[in-house]
Structure 1
Amino acid sequence: MLLVLLLIGFVLPTTSDAQIFEDAKEFFTFYPNAKAVEKDSTLYPSKFIAAPVISFSPETDFAFGIGAKYLFKFAGSGEETRVSNMPITFQYTLNNQYFLYSGFEIFTNQEKFVITGNILFQNYPRLYYGIGRNTEESAEEVYEYNQLLVEPIFLKQMFHRYLFLGGGLRYNHIYETKVEEDGLIAQNMRDGFDGSTSVGLEVAALYDDRDVILNASEGWYVEFTHGEYGEFLGGTNKFHLTRLDVRHFFKVSEKNDDVLAFQFLGRTVRDDLPFSEYSFFGSSEIMRGYREGRFVDRDLVAAQMEFRKNFKNTRLGAVAFVGTGSVFNNIADFQFGALKPNYGFGVRYKIDKTENLNLRLDWGFGRGTNEIYLGIAEAF
């Protein structure tokens, strides 16, 4: 089970304790444009909120790093423009492994354009159990690799205030792989197990009318991408990758701002996909309770529901979540009886009231497994 410790405590909302927390939060908060805001009060005060993180897992040993959020608006943006969000995570382990990640959503002035995407650079192990939804826990082995993933998507506001259309490029390079001798990967030698480069052009559509990006209480988020991958720009495989992410949020209690949140996630890959492009089941965002990659196949569907309870006049909150999902080789193989359950609960501590930004600690349970997750901002 993954153990994650963050060097920030939960405190009672007394006046003195609240001030202690504010002082501690300010120590980890930086304001890149503070001088410019002093001269021009119409500018949004950008924030870089960081916190030290220590984690441990059997495959990595102890890891040390920083989790952070960069929140900003471009000059000239007012209340009509939502806050841009760039999370940044960096960790380094005692096994000389590293992990650097940023998933971003950037709004230009008046939200005429949106730039979303991911940047990932890592040398990190992945646990592998075989292909399919019925693999055994006893088949576990470690697959190590280096990865560089860059995926910028550029979208333009079109036809509707919250509808954005566009496209982008996805580059996923896997190299310097290491597999266990006589293990499943070495025996099967699936295409790309010893490295691959995926290069694809994507078309994308986004509908996003959430009230707050980091912790929405109302609105819809619907993202669709379809990529055609080929042997241009160094690509090693030809295949198609389609993804759909649908989320909905609404308040169930105006008094305490309690929220009910839903998400559906679908991913399908066709043709000559390399090993790195299979769909991996489980993560800190969806199907919490399963290690990422516990089940692997070409296609994935998953759904979750989360109740978010806020305690009035405090920074504390709590969540309860339940979900289900599975992987399969083809849509014809989908069976409701094969869906795997997950459920769990968590606590929240609001580290920034202005941005409604929470520190989250979740304990997720799957079928015969459980995991602990800690991070900044909600799972979805």
Structure 2
Amino acid sequence: MKAQNQSKGSKRFTVRDSTKNWKISAFPVAFYTPETAFGFGGLGIGTFRLKDETFDTRPSSIQLGISYTTKNQFLLYAPFDFYKDDEKWRLEGELGFYNYFYNFFGVGIDSKEEDEETYEVTFPRARVALLRELFPRFFAGLAYEFDAFYNLKVEESGILEASDVPGKRDGTVSNLGVVAVYDTRDHIFFPTKGVYIQGKLFSSSKIFGSSFGYVKYELDSRYYQKVGKKQVVAANLFLGSSTEGTPFYDLYYLGSKRTRGINNRRFQDNTELSLALEYRFPIAGRFGGAVFGSTGTVASDLGKNS
């Protein structure tokens, strides 16, 4: 492994050949949800530093996850983060392919639990954002989202088939937008302190190859604070809103990772406002636990959130 000490003003730092700087971890994955039944698979994470990057630079990473469920669902996803030029440039995103079931209860905060049904859809996914550091820890740049939904299967005579929501006959989501990020976290995967604030503004148009025309924006803020030696308190405040014409599979919803403990997509609409709190603590060795709570609401537009 090649190493070279160089001076940068009065500061000395080490540069390594990143091709020999890989760290790879692999984990089994097992889960159960009402719509998927049992699922199993694996997740691999590779971290490294690009060539000529210092050890002060946050490591780049590539993940690869594969899951299969007892209802013949398939998930393949590969999130990635690359850091270059002492973190002045940041490339992040995800590539994936999904054949999956999702819940549908209707649209709006007044949807009824007894109306629950599922729909099946297949789609490739691409997410990519190229960001440049403009100020210390503050990044801004362009982003793109792509989902090509096809082979959509809904329940006969169900509420989704009877509804007039955009997208129930398949369609392509192709969104171009801008992203701004302020990130002071001490670690990408397991932060113990710092904040992460991300703002997004996207436009979907036939000019970009989309089947739909709408605009959406998001504000995702997260806070991490270490308490004691190994305990961490985390908080997440999220606001997202989109205009009329948003396909139902791109609506905001409660029951995501932000609002755990709620049936997936139990409430969905054009706007979401949610808050989650979590207390993380060690148990023994590599095992840890978490206590969490969340609350949120959805509405047809921002002015109706309460």
- TM-score calculated relative to the size of structure 2: 0.88
* Corresponding position of 2:183: 208
Question: Which of 279, 290, 301 is the aligned partner of 2:273?
Answer: 301
1:75-90 matches, cutoff 5 A: 75-90=51-66
Q: Does 1:147 align with 2:123?
A: yes
Q: Distance in 2 between matches of 1:310 and 1:92?
A: 30
Q: Does 1:193 align with 2:168?
A: yes
Q: Distance in 2 between matches of 1:86 and 1:137?
A: 38
Aligned letter for 1:168? A
- TM-score calculated relative to the size of structure 1: 0.72
* Corresponding position of 2:16: 42
Question: Which of 108, 114, 119 is the aligned partner of 1:138?
Answer: 114
Q: Distance in 1 between matches of 2:124 and 2:236?
A: 28
Contact 1:133 1:328 in 2 (8 A): yes
Question: Which of 334, 338, 343 is the aligned partner of 2:305?
Answer: 334
Contact 1:174 1:276 in 2 (8 A): no
Question: Which of 98, 101, 118 is the aligned partner of 2:77?
Answer: 101
Aligned letter for 2:272? L
Contact 1:74 1:109 in 2 (8 A): no
Q: Distance in 1 between matches of 2:193 and 2:34?
A: 39
1:316-355 matches, cutoff 5 A: 316-335=287-306
Change (3 A) 1:294 1:120: farther
Change (3 A) 1:57 1:200: closer
Aligned letter for 2:281? K
* Corresponding position of 2:10: none
**Secondary structure of the structure 2 residue equivalent to 1:186:** helix
**Secondary structure of the structure 1 residue equivalent to 2:57:** coil
Change (3 A) 1:292 1:120: farther
Aligned letter for 1:294? R
Q: Distance in 2 between matches of 1:308 and 1:180?
A: 40
C-alpha deviation, 1:134, in angstroms:
2.6
Q: Distance in 2 between matches of 1:62 and 1:154?
A: 36
Deviations 1:93-121 (A, max 9, x none): 34332111233332123101011223231
Question: Which of 65, 70, 75 is the aligned partner of 2:46?
Answer: 70
* Corresponding position of 2:263: 291
Pairwise CA RMSD: 2.0
C-alpha deviation, 1:325, in angstroms:
0.9
- Count residues in correspondence: 293
Q: Distance in 2 between matches of 1:223 and 1:152?
A: 14
* Corresponding position of 1:371: none
Q: Does 1:111 align with 2:102?
A: no
Which blocks of at least 5 consecutive residues in structure 1 are unaligned?
Answer: 1-36, 336-380
1:176-325 matches, cutoff 5 A: 176-253=151-228, 256-283=229-256, 285-310=257-282, 314-325=285-296
Contact 2:273 2:305 in 1 (8 A): no
Contact 2:177 2:201 in 1 (8 A): yes
Q: Distance in 1 between matches of 2:213 and 2:304?
A: 23
Deviates more, 1:98-107 or 1:220-229: 98-107
Aligned letter for 1:318? G
* Corresponding position of 1:92: 68
Q: Distance in 2 between matches of 1:200 and 1:129?
A: 26
**Secondary structure of the structure 1 residue equivalent to 2:258:** coil
Q: Distance in 1 between matches of 2:69 and 2:279?
A: 34
C-alpha deviation, 1:245, in angstroms:
1.0
Which blocks of at least 5 consecutive residues in structure 2 are unaligned?
Answer: 4-14
Question: Which of 36, 54, 59 is the aligned partner of 1:60?
Answer: 36
**Secondary structure of the structure 2 residue equivalent to 1:296:** strand
Change (3 A) 1:309 1:94: closer
C-alpha deviation, 1:316, in angstroms:
3.9
Contact 2:271 2:305 in 1 (8 A): no
Q: Distance in 2 between matches of 1:224 and 1:209?
A: 15
* Corresponding position of 1:174: 149
Q: Does 1:124 align with 2:100?
A: yes
